[in-house]
Structure 1
Amino acid sequence: MLVYLLFVFLISSQYAAGQFGDFKQDFGYVTVREGAHMFYWLFYTTADVENYTDRPLVVWLQGGPGGSSTGIGNFEILGPLDLSLQERNYTWVKNFNVLFIDNPVGTGFSYVDNNSYLTTTNDEIALDFVNLMRGFYEKNTEFEGVPLYIYGQSYGGKMAVDMGIRMHEAEEAGTIKSNLRGIAMGNAWIHPVDATLTWGPLLLAAGLVDQEGYEEIQAHAREAERLFNEGLYFQSTAQWASTQGAVFRRTTNVDFYNILTKMPSQPDTRSAYEIAREMMIHDNSHMADTKQEVVNLYQLMNNEVKQALNIPDHVTWGSLSNAVFNTLRTDFMKPVTDGIEKLLNETDIIVTKYNGNLDLICDTPGQILWVDRLKWDGAEGYKNAPRNPIWEDNKLQGYYKSYGNFRFFWINVAGHSVPRDNPAGSRAFLRDMTSFG
């Protein structure tokens, strides 16, 4: 074990020279298991504190699976610099030490020796994450005991559930010196069938489809549900993609990440599955309108950033994203509500669910369905708890409801990526969980 930890430490430190931009940072690789190498990028808080460890450590997980936290989460959502390399005034680094992780392996700058080392289940992803954090703490011992919070967007929220379970087990066993206090699931892919079945009703209520369009969408969604219930998970994922295709046809290309906007129609020879996969990986509102922005991010990460962070020559940022998604295709439609119940019933970890109300792909109605079915000791108390308004900057930013260690935040004027779409509303769930924000 000692030899392994020393090896992890050496791998983590191998590329520590240099940095990108002026913000204090740390980065490196951890070999989480044979053939699998995971990359992290830490930005130390700029808060006016005596020691940066006076503020919590926040992990940010991107969705997909296959979306890069060090690229998308960092430059497009909440890192210290935006895509124009200008300082972001609402960056989370102002209040927290933010750790961006490219996971699962094969995502972003993380890489595998060959594709047989890619993960196939959410639990495998979680076990890799625990090993990543072991390597991180081995190198950055000052963070041992510092409150740790895991925030995951979209598929990242799904991954965060099993990560919370495995981190808690490791803490209880004394094999990691972390201090996990909470996990947050933002517009998360928690119960995929629930989400898919509520697209039609939401679009109909919003006036974005007529009755005929609603019926077509629901027919596709019910077929995805049937396949899932029969254990045909691979086929259910394909049918989920077909349901998205029906939504695009009937709404003339509504933006799945913000129902108030549409993506421009354009010829596309890709299959429904390929289009749906790209949307999940990029995890980016107005995807078609910002195609150049995505290209610029690819160029930025594979040129200036890659050089500054001394990434190995053979690693290309984002090159395995499709392989990562495809390898998890059988696991894609499986829910993680059992894991949420485990966290609520067996730990005191805060479990936060927040959702932008303009999102479609992980829509709020679909989230409420699985929340109301949760079996945990506080279920009745949560059901009867008041739903309170969120006021920030003299504006009604949404609502929240909480009981015990579970919270639900409805965030207004926000689609799939709440921290980017409504930074003011985001402060409410950050403060609730961490007391900062």
Structure 2
Amino acid sequence: MKIAIHLSLHFSLLFFVSCYGGDVYDPLENALKIQRSRRSVLNHVSNEDHSAEYSTSPVYMGPQDGLKGVDKISSLPGQPAGTDFDQYSGYVTVDPNHGRALFYYLAESPANSSTNPLVLWLNGGPGCSSFGNGAMKELGPFRVNADNTTLSHNKYAWNNVANVLFLDSPAGVGFSYSKNSSDYITGDAQTAKDSYTFLVNWLERFPEYKTRDFYITGESYAGHYVPQLAQLVLQNNKITNQTVINLKGIALGNAYVDDETANTGIFDYFWSHAIISDEIHDGIISNCNFSEGATLTDACEDYQIKARVAKSNIFFFDIYTPLCSPFSNSTPSISGFDPCTENYILGYLNAPDVQQSLHAKPVQWESCNMFVNTHWQDMPFTVLPVIQDLMASGISVWIYSGDTDGRIPVTTSRYDISKLQTSVKTPWYPWMYQGEVGGYVVGYENLTFVTIRGAVHFVPSYQPGRALAFFTSFLEGKLPTDH
């Protein structure tokens, strides 16, 4: 009964807040509560059984001739003068029978675009837009100004060093859609399959990238998306009649990869950062067993509710930043990032001329699709075994963490790494950015862990310079030292 009441309260809040990272709305917590309640009444599907859903099979390949030229963006409304790179956006059909198509945005590099690697960026949720959140708020070439109609350059955009591809996935998210509404009830396995189908078709549309070094990056619930897609790519690369994708590495930012560590890490972080009391923390430690298959007791639920009440009115995704204030035009954080940015993006991406310039189907765009999020189906308890497989495959595996994030905090990432049971090669040390500590790094066997000092859940938003420095090191395959 207590769980039902708490879920009811949570759902009532969702309908008043639509922005990912808003003052109240937490799409990841919403999805996790539903999954955890299901697990308490259903027999849990083991990771071994679940992984069978990712088995390789031939994928749909559609005609791509001439579509690249159609997708080229001549100019975005309000785009600043001096924009010196090519950008493309449009749809790739992944299921013609259902009319299911995924929206992408490509920002090529202003220099060396013909040789720079291709990087896929995925936002999580589940159900949140990689284009609206990732490109327009975090690491893309533009930021939306407070007038909702003009753009400014992001001088720390990741397309400075790579050609960056943003994918709205699954269908129903951002500008992606299906003509069959049943497709909006989906989960991890179908999302991975559709993302792979997107990739092989997109590479036919952009064949110059077929042999290019390829990386998959993302944050939050993309801690599921990225490893699962990477695993599927490597599996399908073994099929000779399929496109071989030159996957070189993955990077997971403030990533949800394991449910136990997500719980233990968040409450330990709250306590160590003076957000909850000793009594609440002790109550959680004494009454909660977050391991797979354990029963959630009423006492544990009570203490978790107390912890979230004690957290009170702070920006969950950065415990130190100001909230978006309705009483002023701008409320810049210490880093200079405006926490009202999501409001500006919402206004900009719903302008008809913007949607037309993006070759997007006219739609009421939203940061996250609450229907997709609430109806998420398959979600394995942990993807750490998948990450271990990727580590053993020889590709580069990086985990990075903004250290002021309260949603998937740095403590959770460290607990994740402990579960991976890998040995230290290069001990913990500070890496430098512009003469001061940019964060800390540990080199493990087949794994690199990097923190970004002063960064939030959305690392490139609040620490763009340090984020670009870390990302450059990731592409170079070198531990960050001094930038």
TM-score by length of structure 2 reads 0.74
For residues 200 and 166 of structure 1, what CA distance do their matches in structure 2 show?
A: 33
Matched, 1:111 2:167: no
In structure 2, the residue matched to 1:69 is: 130
For residues 8 and 370 of structure 1, what CA distance do their matches in structure 2 show?
A: 41
CA deviation string 1:152-173 (max 9, x = no partner): 1111232101011011122222
In structure 1, the residue matched to 2:384 is: 337
Residues 196, 361 of structure 1: 8 Å contact kept? no
In structure 2, the residue matched to 1:151 is: 217
Report matched runs for 1:5-404 at 5 Å: 5-7=61-63, 18-20=74-76, 21=79, 22=83, 23-33=85-95, 34-35=97-98, 36-47=100-111, 49=112, 52-84=113-145, 85-118=151-184, 120-174=186-240, 175-215=242-282, 222=288, 225=290, 229=293, 246-261=306-321, 263=323, 293-303=341-351, 304-313=353-362, 315-318=363-366, 321-328=369-376, 331=379, 334-345=381-392, 347-375=393-421, 379-380=422-423, 382=424, 385-404=426-445
One-letter identity of the residue aligned with 2:61: L
Deviation at 1:325, TM superposition (A): 0.8
Secondary structure of the residue aligned to 1:355 is strand
Greater share of helix residues, 1 or 2?
1
Deviation at 1:213, TM superposition (A): 3.3
In structure 2, the residue matched to 1:425 is: 466
For residues 281 and 209 of structure 2, what CA distance do their matches in structure 1 show?
A: 51
In structure 1, the residue matched to 2:25 is: none
Deviation at 1:250, TM superposition (A): 0.7
The number of equivalent residue pairs is: 398
Distance 1:8 1:125, change over 3 A: farther
Deviation at 1:306, TM superposition (A): 0.6
For residues 322 and 356 of structure 2, what CA distance do their matches in structure 1 show?
A: 37
For residues 111 and 176 of structure 1, what CA distance do their matches in structure 2 show?
A: 25
One-letter identity of the residue aligned with 2:154: R
Deviation at 1:291, TM superposition (A): 7.8
For residues 351 and 365 of structure 1, what CA distance do their matches in structure 2 show?
A: 19
For residues 114 and 173 of structure 1, what CA distance do their matches in structure 2 show?
A: 30
Return 5+ residue gaps in structure 1 as ranges: 267-284
Residues 252, 265 of structure 1: 8 Å contact kept? no
In structure 2, the residue matched to 1:271 is: none
Residues 253, 262 of structure 1: 8 Å contact kept? no
Residues 73, 87 of structure 2: 8 Å contact kept? no
Identity %: 27
For residues 426 and 4 of structure 1, what CA distance do their matches in structure 2 show?
A: 36
Deviation at 1:104, TM superposition (A): 1.6
Return 5+ residue gaps in structure 2 as ranges: 1-56, 146-150, 327-332, 478-482
For residues 368 and 269 of structure 2, what CA distance do their matches in structure 1 show?
A: 34
Residues 9, 30 of structure 1: 8 Å contact kept? no
Deviation at 1:263, TM superposition (A): 4.8
For the aligned residue pairs, the C-alpha RMSD in angstroms reads 3.3
One-letter identity of the residue aligned with 1:207: A
For residues 417 and 30 of structure 1, what CA distance do their matches in structure 2 show?
A: 27
One-letter identity of the residue aligned with 1:335: T
For residues 223 and 130 of structure 2, what CA distance do their matches in structure 1 show?
A: 13
TM-score by length of structure 1 reads 0.81
For residues 445 and 264 of structure 2, what CA distance do their matches in structure 1 show?
A: 29
Residues 139, 157 of structure 2: 8 Å contact kept? yes
Secondary structure of the residue aligned to 2:261 is helix
